[in-house]
C-alpha cells in the first residue's frame, strides 16, 4: 500500500560553534603587595598559563559542539522515526492475510526479549566488477527505525552507484544510479528505514565501461533503533494500523449490510421462483401426459379415418363375396 519508508538524515550545527570570540574589556586590577613567601610569576610563565587556558577552552568548546551535534542527530533520528512510524500503512498482503497475527507481528516488530542493539557491519575490500557487469549487495532490515550509514570507494576509476529499498512488490529509490567519483573521494550517506521488513539493494554498476574492470570497497553499518524509539514506534504503528483497520472495517460493515440485504432479496426471489418452478413442473407433467394421450388418440383416429374412408369409397371386401354366393345359390335353385 505504501512504499518502503526511507528518510535521509542531515544534522546542522545550529550555533554549536562560534568563530567570533566575544571580547570583554576589564579594568586592570590595582597592584597589591604579595607576601614574601609567594613567588612572582615571570611573563613567560603567565603566557604558558594563558595558552593552557585557551587550549582547555577550545577543547571544552569542541566537546560541547560534538555533544550538541549528537543531540541534534539523535533528535533528527527520533523525529524521522516517529514520522515514518506515523505514516505506517499495512500492506495489501497483510490486510488480505486471513490470520490476524500477520498484521500484529508487523506492528509489534522485533521481540524486546530478543533485541540486540549492537550495530551490524557489512564490508568488503577491492571487490572486482567486470566490464559491462553489475554487482548487487542486498541487506535485509528487520527493525523499523534502523539507521543505515555507508561509505563507498573505488580504485583508480569512477563507478555507477545507487540504492533502492524493496518491500513486497513495491520499490523506493533511495539514491538513483549515478556515476560517482568515488576514486577521488569516498561517497558517504546516512538514512533511516521506517517500514520493515525491507531489503536494501546497494548496486555497483560498470555497464558503461567497455574496457576496464573496476574495484570497489564498501562499508555499510546498520544501527538498530534505541529501545525508547522502538516503544514509541510501536505506539505510532499501532495507532496508524488501528486507523486503517477501522476505516476498512467501517467500509466493510457498510458493504456487508448492503450485501446481506441484497442476499435476502435474492433468496426470497429464488424461493418464489423455486415454488413457481415446482408448480410449473407439475403442470408440465400433466401436460406431457395429456400430450402423449392425445398423440395416441390422434394416431388412432387417423387410422380409423383411413379405414372408414376406404370403405366409403371402395366399399367392403365381403360384399363381393356375398354377391358371388348369392348368384351361385340362385343358379342352383336355392330359395
pLDDT score of 322: 79
| pLDDT tens-digit readout, 102-138 | 999 888 877 888 777 889 999 999 999 999 999 999 9
Residue 191: inside a domain, yes or no? yes
| pLDDT tens-digit readout, 5-37 | 666 665 443 333 333 333 333 333 344 444 444
Q: Provide the number of structural domains found in the chain.
A: 1
pLDDT class for 44, splitting at 50, 70, 90?
low
Give how far Cα 265 sits from Cα of 259, 260, 270, Å.
10, 9, 9
Residue 53 pLDDT greater than 60, yes or no = yes
pLDDT score of 72: 73
pLDDT score of 22: 31
Residue 43: inside a domain, yes or no? no
Q: Which domain holds residue 60?
A: 1-11+54-285
144 in Cβ contact with 86 (< 8 Å):
no
Give how far Cα 235 sits from Cα of 97, 161, 162, 191, 279, Å.
22, 36, 33, 22, 64
Would you give the distance in Å from CA 156 to the centre of its chain?
40
Residue 298: inside a domain, yes or no? no
Calpha distance 35→45 (Å, rounded): 19
Residue 311: inside a domain, yes or no? no
Residue 216: inside a domain, yes or no? yes
Q: Give the helix/strand (H/E) hosting 84.
A: helix 43-86
Give how far Cα 127 sits from Cα of 135, 148, 213, Å.
9, 21, 10
CATH of the domain at 106: 2.60.120.680
Residue 86: inside a domain, yes or no? yes
pLDDT score of 36: 47
Residue 317: inside a domain, yes or no? no
The whole-number average pLDDT for the span 290-301 is: 95
Residue 216 pLDDT greater than 60, yes or no = yes
pLDDT class for 167, splitting at 50, 70, 90?
confident
Residue 139: inside a domain, yes or no? yes
pLDDT score of 29: 39
pLDDT score of 106: 83
The whole-number average pLDDT for the span 239-267 is: 94
Amino acid at each position: 500500500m505504501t512504499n518502503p519508508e526511507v528518510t535521509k538524515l542531515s544534522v546542522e550545527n545550529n550555533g554549536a560553534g562560534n568563530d567570533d570570540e566575544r571580547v570583554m574589556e576589564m579594568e586592570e586590577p590595582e597592584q597589591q603587595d604579595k607576601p614574601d613567601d609567594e613567588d612572582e610569576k615571570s611573563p613567560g610563565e603567565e603566557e604558558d598559563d594563558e595558552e593552557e587556558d585557551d587550549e582547555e577552552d577550545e577543547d571544552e568548546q569542541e566537546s560541547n559542539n560534538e555533544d550538541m551535534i549528537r543531540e541534534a542527530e539523535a533528535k533528527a533520528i527520533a523525529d524521522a522515526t516517529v514520522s515514518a512510524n506515523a505514516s505506517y500503512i499495512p500492506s495489501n498482503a497483510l490486510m488480505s492475510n486471513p490470520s490476524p497475527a500477520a498484521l500484529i507481528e508487523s506492528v509489534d516488530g522485533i521481540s524486546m526479549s530478543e533485541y540486540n542493539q549492537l550495530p551490524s557491519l557489512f564490508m568488503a575490500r577491492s571487490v572486482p566488477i567486470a566490464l559491462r557487469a553489475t554487482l548487487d549487495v542486498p541487506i535485509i532490515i528487520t527493525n523499523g527505525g534502523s539507521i543505515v550509514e555507508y561509505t563507498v570507494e573505488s580504485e583508480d576509476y569512477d563507478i555507477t552507484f545507487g540504492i533502492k529499498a524493496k518491500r513486497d512488490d513495491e520499490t523506493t529509490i533511495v539514491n538513483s544510479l549515478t556515476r560517482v567519483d568515488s576514486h577521488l573521494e569516498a561517497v558517504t550517506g546516512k538514512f533511516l528505514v521506517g517500514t520493515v521488513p525491507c531489503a536494501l539493494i546497494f548496486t555497483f554498476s560498470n555497464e558503461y565501461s567497455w574496457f576496464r574492470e573496476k574495484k570497489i570497497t564498501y562499508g555499510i553499518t546498520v544501527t538498530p533503533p534505541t529501545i525508547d524509539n522502538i516503544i514509541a514506534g510501536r505506539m505510532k504503528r499501532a495507532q496508524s494500523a488501528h486507523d486503517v483497520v477501522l476505516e476498512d472495517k467501517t467500509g466493510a460493515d457498510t458493504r456487508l449490510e448492503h450485501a446481506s440485504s441484497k442476499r435476502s432479496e435474492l433468496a426470497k426471489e429464488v424461493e418464489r421462483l423455486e415454488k413457481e418452478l415446482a408448480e410449473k413442473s407439475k403442470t408440465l407433467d400433466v401436460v406431457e401426459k395429456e400430450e402423449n394421450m392425445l398423440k395416441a388418440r390422434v394416431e388412432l383416429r387417423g387410422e380409423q379415418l383411413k379405414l372408414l374412408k376406404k370403405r366409403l369409397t371402395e366399399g367392403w371386401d365381403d360384399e363381393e363375396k356375398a354377391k358371388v354366393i348369392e348368384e351361385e345359390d340362385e343358379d342352383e335353385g336355392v330359395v
